[in-house]
Amino acid sequence: MSDATKEAQLLAACHAGDCARVRELVAQGAEVFVTDETGRTALHFAAASGSAETVRLVLEAGIPWNALDAGSYTAGDYAEAGGHGAAYDELVQAGIRAEMVLRMLNKEPAEARAAANEDYLAQPVEYSGDKLLDAEKNGVMMSWEAPLMELHAQAVCAAPGGAVLNVGFGMGIVDAALQARQPGRHVIVEAHPDVYQHMVAEGWAARPGVHIVFGRWQDKLAEIRALGPYDGIFFDTFGEFYQDLDDFHRAAFAADGAEPLLRRPGGIYSFFNGLGGDHKLFHDVYCDIVCADLRALGIDTQFARVASDVVMDEATWKGVKRPYWMIKSYNLPTCTWARE
Ligand SMILES: C[S@@+](CC[C@H](N)C(=O)[O-])C[C@H]1O[C@@H](n2cnc3c(N)ncnc32)[C@H](O)[C@@H]1O
């Protein structure tokens, strides 16, 4: 039997979910890292079969959980298309394990992260109708997110008169939604000079209860803390890493022993959940990771599933370098102190 035949048989056995046959072919030395003419790996075929056991075997043989075919589909997309929940969960669990290991091995140093963020902050941004773009035409903020921002504002500002904090002004959509809910104090942190200028030109400094903190949140924590604690906090920045979000959580929830930014008890926190937003499988993995990280800080997270189908429309992304959200439903997080 030629190697090519063996490999074709391997893909066929994965497609059939025939775990024993896959095991046999691997033991016979079949090359696992093969793809068909559309770039589908053994993992895509195993996921399409719905056999969680075959998925696990192929993962153990070394195919990465996040492999993409030529159409940019994950194995998770194939599992979901067939309604194979157990195979999908197998992929999610593999993703969580792999990301946890990667995280330990590859901690991006704070200075490198700050440099990337400052790179963005040093370039001009452009307000162009329904979007805010950076110098490379990446979407910093887009108006299709407005219904989500309304829901985030509702979550963190349930009643008038309280103190709210929003990190990242962008197009001011969430801040307008917060203002409509009449907070007593409304602190907005923004680091980009063009965005800051825009906010001031639009009269934000004079709006009821508004206090603008101009600078990177990392550099302004003492000022932000002095204006707190907050009944509601929303976080949505740009040009930052997952670790920056995690650092913010540590500051907001007092992992460092300082006063928490979020009022305890009763405070409500939310963040723009764009994590892994170009593939549902990546997003589900990161939703699980962020939940676990928040739980370790004493925070419970509930996700509300919200339809976000508008993003599938090509016209939405016209003029934007890369769609940053390609999933039909959005997991809107509401986070509270545990054991209140
Ligand atoms: C996605 S936009 C926020 C959109 C906003 N939620 C809205 O409703 O329009 C992100 C904003 O965070 C700002 N930003 C980026 N890094 C920041 C940092 N380290 N500290 C404070 N603001 C930052 C960006 O300049 C940008 O205005």
Nearest of 5, 94, 92, 6 to residue 58 by alpha carbon: 94
Does 242 share its domain with 266? Answer: yes
* Residue 330 in this model has a pLDDT that exceeds 90: yes
DSSP state of 68: B
pLDDT above 60 (res 95): yes
**Which atom belonging to ligand 1 lies closest to the Cα atom of 141?**
1
Nearest to 234 by CA among 224, 223, 226: 224
| Cis before 265 (ω within 30) | yes
73 contact partners, CB below 8 Å, separation of at least 6 = 44
Of ligand 1's listed atoms, the one at least distance from the Cα of 146 is 8
189 lines ligand 1 (CB under 6 A): yes
Q: Are residues 122 and 152 in the same domain?
A: yes
Digit-coded pLDDT (tens) for 143-198: 999 999 999 999 999 999 999 999 999 999 999 999 999 999 999 999 999 999 99
Could you tell me the CATH number of the domain that includes residue 257? 3.40.50.150
- State whether the beta carbon of 178 lies less than 6 angstroms from ligand 1: no
Domain boundary among 88, 105, 122: 105
Q: Do 167 and 234 contact (CB within 8 A), yes or no? A: yes
Among the atoms of ligand 1, which is closest to the Cα of residue 177?
Answer: 8
CB distance 155 to ligand 1 below 6 Å = no
Query: Are 222 and 212 a contacting pair, CB within 8 Å?
Result: no
**Number of domains making up the chain:** 2
Give the domain-ending residue among 105, 130, 162.
105
Q: Is the pLDDT of residue 255 over 80?
A: no
Please report, as a single letter, which amino acid is at residue 84. Answer: H
CB distance 323 to 317 below 8 Å: yes
| Angle of helix 52-60 versus helix 3-16 axis, rounded to 10 | 140
DSSP per-residue codes, 186-249: EEEEE--HHHHHHHHHTTGGGSTTEEEEES-GGG-HHHHHHT--BSEEEE--SS--HHHHHHHH
- Atom from ligand 1 closest to the CA of residue 125: 25
Average pLDDT score, the chain: 95
Domain match, 156 and 277 both: yes
Ligand 1 center from residue 169 Cα (angstroms): 5
Among 66-70, 226-230, 291-295, 317-321, the least confident range = 317-321
Range of the domain at 321: 111-337
- 154: CA distance to ligand 1 center in Å? 19
pTM, to two decimals: 0.95
Give yes or no for residue 224 CB within 6 A of ligand 1.
no
| CA distance between the termini of the chain | 65
Least confident window among 14-23, 125-134, 312-321: 312-321
Statement to judge: residues 194 and 241 lie in one domain? yes
CA 11 – CA 3 distance, rounded (Å): 12
Q: Kindly give the distance from the C-alpha atom of residue 191 to the centroid of ligand 1, in angstroms, as a whole number.
A: 7
DSSP state letter for 316:
G
pLDDT > 70 in the chain, percent:
98
Of the residues 82, 105, 128, which one is the last residue of a structural domain?
105
Asked if residue 244 and residue 179 are part of one domain, the reply reads: yes
- The answer on 83 and 44 residing in a single domain is yes
pLDDT over 50 (residue 29): yes
pLDDT at site 1: 43
* CATH value at residue 36: 1.25.40.20
Residue 21: partners with Cβ closer than 8 Å, 6 or more residues away: 9, 13
Judgement on whether residues 99 and 138 belong to the same structural domain of the protein? no
d(CA 164, CA 233): 6
Number of residues that this document lists for the chain? 340
Residue 340: band (very low, low, confident or very high) from pLDDT cuts 50, 70, 90: low
Ligand 1 center to residue 238 CA distance, Å? 5
**pLDDT for the residue numbered 4:** 60
